[in-house]
Structure 1
Amino acid sequence: MARYFSRSLLAILCQAGLGTGVLLGAVSVTQARDIRFNTDVLDLKDRGNIDLSQFTQKGFILPGTYELAINLNNMVMPVRPVTFLAPDDDPKGSEACLTQELVEQLGLTDAALKGLTWWHEGQCLDVASLKGMEAQGDLGTNTLTLSVPQAYLEYSSENWDPPSRWEEGIPGILLDYNLNGQTQRQKSNDNKQTNTLSGNGVAGANLSSWRLRASWQTRISHKTGSGQPSEQSFDWTQYTAYRAIAPLRAKLTVGEDFLNSDIFDSFRFTGAALISDDNMLPPNLRGYAPEVTGVARSNAKVVISQQGRVIKEILVATGPFRIQDLDSAVSGVLNVRVEEADGSVQQFQVDTATIPYLTRPGQMRFKLAAGRPSNWQHQVNGPLFATGEFSWGVSNGWSLYGGGLGGENYSALSLGLGRDLMAFGALSADVTQSRARLPQQGTLVGGSYRLSYSKRFDETGSQVTFAGYRFSDNRFMSMADYLSAKNDITGVTPRRGKEMYTISFNQQFASLGLSANLNYNHQTYWNQATSDRYNLSLAHYFDIGRFRNVNLSLTAYRNNFSNTKDDGMYLSLSLPWGNSGSVSYSGSYAAGANSNAVSYFDRVGDAGTYQLRAGVTGGDADLSGYYSHRGSLAQIEGTASVRGREYNSIGLSLMGGATLTAQGGALHRTSMLGGTRMLIDTDGVAGVPVGGYGSSVYSNVFGKAVVADVGSYYRNSVRIDVDKLADNAQATNSVQQGTLTEGAIGYRHFEVVAGEKAMAILRLADGSVPPFGATVLNNKRQEAGLVTDGGLVFMSGLQPGETLTVHWDNQEQCRVTLPQSIPAGLMNTLLLPCVKG
């Protein structure tokens, strides 16, 4: 396309019919910046009507303001207005004016900032004052490329930027939702049907650096033929406002929250918290995010909740599931409920673990909170409390940590020591003592002792994500235990912990193509039955004849929760079939629910997957299907199941959101409710495919799209998929990057031109033509074409009736108005008058 190569002198001269041998004699370089052209070699009708002044300097750009993306050492920053000015010592030259605002976002070290000098009355950076720095503009790609020696920049890694480049985003409102609808008919129960609609979501607003969020959940259930009215509930479960405090690498939260602690057990409270945020650290220093694993015996809905608040609902297909996208701030005991298609329910709990609380030498990490305990109905039900904890990097490898929690009639103190064992992992140990005064039992003083370990063994392919042991004596009480006992007439706390063993272990045997994953949790209580959960997964990849990457996997589990045992095993053999599909056999063995089935899995484009399954369960035919589609407007999942004489059911899940800002808005899919997102502006062009790390979404009729699969404090890339771009559309710059703070609504503007292509001859009022080398710009100051011999120009991205400007001698000379109907094809050459503006 002409607008991409017209900045090249080679392309201009080739349009004039010259060979490369002539080109070598046509150009002479007098110095690094100035270039002279021997125009005598040009085969032109009018040798006196030539304007190559804009090419006499390397990278010359006409003085003016342009919307350019900033490319800093191959990292593409947001598009911004950049002004090109003539330097004070060169009136005919042109240099980019790097403002103080732009320089602040480069992430220069304090030493580098002190040595900077400025020009144009102190408004523009003198690039020469930073030795080795270069700045070069390119209108062909609408990019300002900055090369800065790494020694002058703050620490950064491949996917992480220093705080100076973090973006708070733009103001806006959002409404995210996750809705699940299910219909189930029990054939063995007079064909009675149960219809259920459940969901949860987040409504919010972003104001400057503040994020306002309100979480909700709902459930509607109706049983036909039961004679009972529908059960309905809708609750606002949590009101929160938070913001990042970048200088402290911390997050400030006001409102309702769960205590986020590495030392004390979590409970819900209303108040404020200031917490060092691991997400603000480079990725290799970040903490552990909890995950939930299990096995679904049929198409099922998995509900993860904590103290009554639903954290996540998701439909899963038959077989093992692994949910890894929970927020790393989630801590404490999670309740997991697996609702099967036949109406049966699996329940178990997951104790989220924390890695040893270690800190780099000389650094301090902290967590502060104050408020009153509350329940999910927004009622405070406990005394005013305050808590604080810290971790201090004493020396290389050693960390001292501890903290305290105190309120009326309750207090706890903790002290611990952590050690980085280098090749042997990381180990920490701590002691916590509590003091609680209860009307029924008097004053109870007790202790809790914990040992934690974490290690990745690269040499052996092993990883102990977390391993821990904790013992609490009979008189120890956590804050949650105290609140429960205080509100109980007997003064007894149910489920008061005694011993806990937990481990999450992964082993890779690369030479054998074998991987193993073990999750184990054993919890004993002083006044309740023991709770156990085991989950062991083995996977082996191998080749059979022409089949490659055949997968044999085995998952075994045991749940012992509230004196209810649930043991099971799932075996699967899968082999590739076709371009993207796979055929598999699976056997599921559980109490009273043994099944064998054959299934087929395949992809639909790059955004959809489906699975068809047929088998036998308990002597009955068992048929099911599962479909998932990552659409532009929502993440859609659907299930359907039929089992012989027992039941049939269908389910549908929608997960998406709406984001609205002053720059526009869009409906979109989402992955984290209320989370970070990027609003994409495609210059009003609809149907432009854009994306982050997932499948592309398409801009709406207003030229807006929202990409939700982006992370916080992580350098994200958003791009236009040029392979799917319409033939009549062109993107000047297809990739942009940036780092957003948590919950931000980022904004990226892509220069997209959509329109017709045409050949034209330009005529001035006196019958002459613009000079060879004159530039044609559209109303967005984007280059639409370049004039060659005789006023001939090839133009692209044209809109009927649009007015274009023609420039030479470094300024606008005349204007061209296109007809209301542009002939299709390039064989029809338009004759267009160019008149003074």
Structure 2
Amino acid sequence: MKQYGHHKSLLAICLLFATSPSWGVNFDTSLLAGDSAKSDLTRFYEDQNMPAGIQEMDIYVNDDWKGRYPFTFTGDDKKIYLEQKEAMLLGVSLPKLDTEQYDYSLEQIVQGGSYSVDVSTLSIKLSVPQSFVLRTQVGYVPPEFWDSGVPAMIFSYNTTYYKTKNKNGAKLSSDDFYSGLESGLNIGSWQFRDNSTVRKYSGEQLKWQNNTRYIRKSLPMQKSNLLVGDFYTQGNLFDSMRIRGVSLASDINMRPSSQQGFAPIVRGVAQTNALIKVLQNGSVIYQESVPPGQFTLDNIQPTGSAGDLLVIVQEANGQEQSFTVPFSAVPGMLKEGVSNYALFAGKVNQDGGNYTPSFVQGTFEYGFNNLITGYIGTIASENYRAYLVGSGWNLPIGAVSVDITHADTQLLNDSQHGQSMRVSYSKFLDTTATNFTLAAYRYSTKGYYSFNDSIHAHDGYRSYQESIDLYKKNQKNNQETPAVDLNTWDSMRGARPKNTFTINLNQRLPESWGTFYVSGSQRDYWATIPATREYQLGYANSYAQMSYSLSASRVRDGQGKEENRYYLSLSLPMSLFDNNIWVSSGFTATDSGYQQSTLSLSGTALEANRLNYAFSGSNQQNGQNMASANVTYRANISTLGASLSESNDYRQTGLSARGSLVAIPWNVLMSNEVGSTMTIVKAPKAEGLMINGDQSIVTNSEGLALVPYATPYRKNAITVTNTEETQGAEVIGNIANSAPLEGAVSVVNFKTDTRKNWVSRALFFDNKALPFGSEILSIDGESIGYVGQSSVLYLKAENFPKKVVVQLANGSCTINELTENLDSSPAICQ
């Protein structure tokens, strides 16, 4: 095999010289020694056209690279074709094809422009008139070419197990098991999805809870989605809530926009191996175990676009702290003539509620011009009416929206009427590098109830009425029963906010002065409830290779007591056995003084950085010491994690796993990440190919691999690369594209050459060697190999060819009885 490799290298060098642009148009075969000058090397001449067949080529449109696509060459420069689905990805407005035509020719694509084929670089350059170039966002694909994928069943999981055990006293232990599960079925453009959680606390039964369960139908041409089932309403104008019903609404992700909406980033500090729970509207939407120190959660997907996030940090010793991350989206500015709409009809289906009124809700947004966007909305229910009108302004000082909502609420023997006014602001100031992600102020009158408020109020009354009925039933004497007190059963009367202010700001300071951020909210209420204030302040910078940060936040402990917490961290990168490691230290203090100092070592190891680890030790208040370890390993089929911490008072252990599973006809595939829109790579019989440079995603023995991520409605480039474990068929081309619908499981096909390699030997009838470099053809005229040194034949075919033709400079010769063994007598070419 080594000799075979040397022959291939020598031939490649010769052919490189033969086609180098610095040489003449034709290769002078007299430069070859001996009978090699008789070789027919015209197929390697520079001015030679691409041979007929399919060839992967890089394509450029007005010098902008668009990817690599398979072109069909016919031997005629004027008849080069590209499949319709591939041509639509070039960003060119194309003419309609004839009924019986399925491929575009290059002449049809350039539409009066020009094109050139560069054989030496395997590239095609198109010059297309600007009037035919689509003015869309980079990577955007027109809706008519979105891929609905193949029939598939999907299952994703994110599971954590967290246990603590006290060493003192009764030596009590507590367990917390959580698993976020998403399952679904795809048939064409119809999708079924079920998002549920399984939880178990110490001393409680295993509890399953469904979050959403619905059928979705994408409507690409309308840039909308149809939903039927249990899901959350949009919350950009009204509060988001869980309903059981039907929805027809625009999907902003289907539009060619670089802004896909606002999602909050959760930052905080953990003192131990802590369990982080993120709740929205009372439901846990995310949970993760983190090592000691600062943490950042930037992959949280809220259930709606409004509703503050409550973050609970459960330390290994059982202590809890909490803080709120404000979250409500500014109504988006729309371009002139662009509209968004959302229609909902059904019944409220909130967790833990008994009052489930039917309702309808509608919103509409429209861009009048580049300055003004208007929006309206309404909610109509059994005992509730609300009407909203507002406008967004694209001003030089930023995007500002102002709206007012009027609500009529019918309660028991009482009617309430009120208004809520809101002003929102968002802006990135180039001159100062200030990014106001969101700044909003809302004032609500005393009689204003949101739809959620009215539902809670009715639920409160029903609960109180049930207690009254029970009290009457248990009374032996006809004693006077307590009257229904409005302030008693209407818990929302006292808890409804009067003024609310929220802000998220990121400020990049001049030169090398670092970055400053602040997020927070302040609320006061219509009753005697004290005003609440939540905030996070932070500053980060670096000096030489060392980075450092300072932060301050207001948190609540498990008893509801608020305190200010301060944190300082330092981090220094180093190298160990060619792997990156970070040495970090942290210091935590509160209003009451010193809390904890920590020293940690973290890094990556193994091939492709599959292993992430963090080891730390800390000194805590009152002289307590703690040591901890946290590791995560990315296997091919799942990402596994473990944590352990030990102190004088407790021991904590934890386990985690996440991944996805997809079943398509006759195959089941797994990946190590949670995915919703996924891609299956199909390269028949090519085993061990690495996908997108990720060594944890490789093709199996059938040439299949599951990529758990894809951007819906955009062009996704998938690349394959050989590894040391690559075997089987040879892949033809290394890049392909897909543009899937959201939630689709797309299949990207790579062509492979499944032919086997064969080696033989042949001579002329006078025992002279065949010319080096001569092309070998099958009896059907297909090129299947070449002649190497010492008249050795290198062949590639499904089955060993007994009869072949050798192309010579002045004709050809035929071998009728080829042998497979080099040690056998050489065949004769005549």
Whether the TM-score (by the shorter chain) exceeds 0.5 is: yes
- Whether the 8 Å CA contact 1:3–1:783 is kept in 2: the answer is no
Q: 1:48 to 1:67 in 2, by over 3 A?
A: closer
- Which string of whole-angstrom CA distances, capped at 9 and with x for unpartnered residues, describes residues 473-496 of structure 1? 111111111111122225514342
Q: Determine helix, strand or coil for the equivalent of 2:511.
A: helix
Post-superposition shift, 1:588?
1.7
| Partners of 1:648 and 1:50 in 2: CA distance | 77
Post-superposition shift, 1:321?
1.8
The one-letter code sitting in structure 2 at the alignment partner of 1:573 is L
- Whether the 8 Å CA contact 1:691–1:720 is kept in 2: the answer is yes
Q: Does 1:355 align with 2:330?
A: yes
Aligned residues: 783
Aligned to 1:558: 554
Aligned to 2:196: 216
TM-score using structure 1 length: 0.82
- Which string of whole-angstrom CA distances, capped at 9 and with x for unpartnered residues, describes residues 653-698 of structure 1? 11111112237442112245xx112212243333332237x77423
- Which string of whole-angstrom CA distances, capped at 9 and with x for unpartnered residues, describes residues 492-541 of structure 1? 14342322111111111242341111110122333544332111111121
Q: Does 1:435 align with 2:439?
A: no
Q: 1:154 to 1:253 in 2, by over 3 A?
A: farther
Aligned to 1:616: 619
| Partners of 1:737 and 1:521 in 2: CA distance | 44
Q: 1:817 to 1:285 in 2, by over 3 A?
A: farther
| Partners of 1:705 and 1:23 in 2: CA distance | 43
- Which string of whole-angstrom CA distances, capped at 9 and with x for unpartnered residues, describes residues 582-615 of structure 1? 2222112246981112111222142332111112
Aligned to 2:249: 275
- Whether the 8 Å CA contact 2:386–2:405 is kept in 1: the answer is yes
- Whether the 8 Å CA contact 1:179–1:655 is kept in 2: the answer is yes
- Whether the 8 Å CA contact 1:216–1:238 is kept in 2: the answer is yes
Q: 1:641 to 1:150 in 2, by over 3 A?
A: farther
Aligned to 2:679: 678
- Which string of whole-angstrom CA distances, capped at 9 and with x for unpartnered residues, describes residues 697-739 of structure 1? 2333433222224332343333335576659996543333433
Q: 1:58 to 1:98 in 2, by over 3 A?
A: same
| Partners of 2:230 and 2:611 in 1: CA distance | 38
Q: Does 1:108 align with 2:92?
A: yes
Q: 1:199 to 1:146 in 2, by over 3 A?
A: farther
- Which string of whole-angstrom CA distances, capped at 9 and with x for unpartnered residues, describes residues 272-297 of structure 1? 22222222233533321222222222
* Structure 2 unmatched runs, 5+: 465-488
Aligned to 2:348: 373
Q: Does 1:642 align with 2:639?
A: no
- Whether the 8 Å CA contact 2:574–2:581 is kept in 1: the answer is yes
Q: Determine helix, strand or coil for the equivalent of 1:485.
A: helix
The one-letter code sitting in structure 1 at the alignment partner of 2:573 is P
Q: Does 1:61 align with 2:51?
A: yes
- Whether the 8 Å CA contact 1:293–1:320 is kept in 2: the answer is yes
- Whether the 8 Å CA contact 2:270–2:313 is kept in 1: the answer is yes
Q: Does 1:132 align with 2:116?
A: no
The one-letter code sitting in structure 1 at the alignment partner of 2:330 is I
| Partners of 1:773 and 1:380 in 2: CA distance | 84
- Whether the 8 Å CA contact 2:683–2:751 is kept in 1: the answer is yes
Post-superposition shift, 1:643?
1.2
Q: 1:330 to 1:147 in 2, by over 3 A?
A: farther
Aligned to 1:450: 422
Report sequence identity in percent: 22
Q: Please show how residues 742-821 of structure 1 align to structure 2 within 5 Å.
A: 742-751=742-751, 760-761=760-761, 773-774=774-775, 785-787=785-787, 792-794=792-794
The one-letter code sitting in structure 2 at the alignment partner of 1:680 is V
The one-letter code sitting in structure 2 at the alignment partner of 1:567 is N
- Whether the 8 Å CA contact 2:151–2:185 is kept in 1: the answer is yes
The one-letter code sitting in structure 2 at the alignment partner of 1:210 is W
Q: 564, 567, 584: which one pairs with 1:570? A: 567
- Whether the 8 Å CA contact 2:322–2:556 is kept in 1: the answer is no
- Which string of whole-angstrom CA distances, capped at 9 and with x for unpartnered residues, describes residues 387-446 of structure 1? 221222222221112211212221111111211113x211111111111212x1422111
The one-letter code sitting in structure 2 at the alignment partner of 1:585 is S
The one-letter code sitting in structure 2 at the alignment partner of 1:166 is W
- Which string of whole-angstrom CA distances, capped at 9 and with x for unpartnered residues, describes residues 786-835 of structure 1? 34688644468x99x77799688999x9999996xx9xxxxx78988799
- Whether the 8 Å CA contact 2:157–2:674 is kept in 1: the answer is no
Q: Determine helix, strand or coil for the equivalent of 1:512.
A: coil
Post-superposition shift, 1:632?
2.2
- Whether the 8 Å CA contact 2:306–2:327 is kept in 1: the answer is yes
| Partners of 2:304 and 2:254 in 1: CA distance | 16
- Which string of whole-angstrom CA distances, capped at 9 and with x for unpartnered residues, describes residues 614-667 of structure 1? 1211211110112223332222232111111x1011111111111122374421
Q: Does 1:291 align with 2:265?
A: yes
Q: Determine helix, strand or coil for the equivalent of 2:490.
A: coil
Aligned to 2:486: none
- Which string of whole-angstrom CA distances, capped at 9 and with x for unpartnered residues, describes residues 77-122 of structure 1? 6877x654466xxxxx89444354554454432xx426x7x69x64
| Partners of 1:777 and 1:317 in 2: CA distance | 64
Q: Does 1:178 align with 2:175?
A: no
Q: Determine helix, strand or coil for the equivalent of 1:484.
A: helix
CA-based RMSD: 4.5
- Which string of whole-angstrom CA distances, capped at 9 and with x for unpartnered residues, describes residues 288-336 of structure 1? 1222222222111212233454322211111222211123763232333
- Which string of whole-angstrom CA distances, capped at 9 and with x for unpartnered residues, describes residues 153-199 of structure 1? 32233343343443322221111001111232111233333343221
Q: Determine helix, strand or coil for the equivalent of 1:582.
A: strand
| Partners of 2:37 and 2:531 in 1: CA distance | 95
| Partners of 1:784 and 1:380 in 2: CA distance | 75
Q: Determine helix, strand or coil for the equivalent of 1:341.
A: coil
Q: Determine helix, strand or coil for the equivalent of 2:687.
A: coil
Q: Does 1:502 align with 2:502?
A: yes
| Partners of 2:782 and 2:448 in 1: CA distance | 71
| Partners of 1:138 and 1:84 in 2: CA distance | 12
| Partners of 1:354 and 1:771 in 2: CA distance | 71
Post-superposition shift, 1:566?
3.8
- Whether the 8 Å CA contact 1:136–1:146 is kept in 2: the answer is no
- Whether the 8 Å CA contact 2:89–2:141 is kept in 1: the answer is no
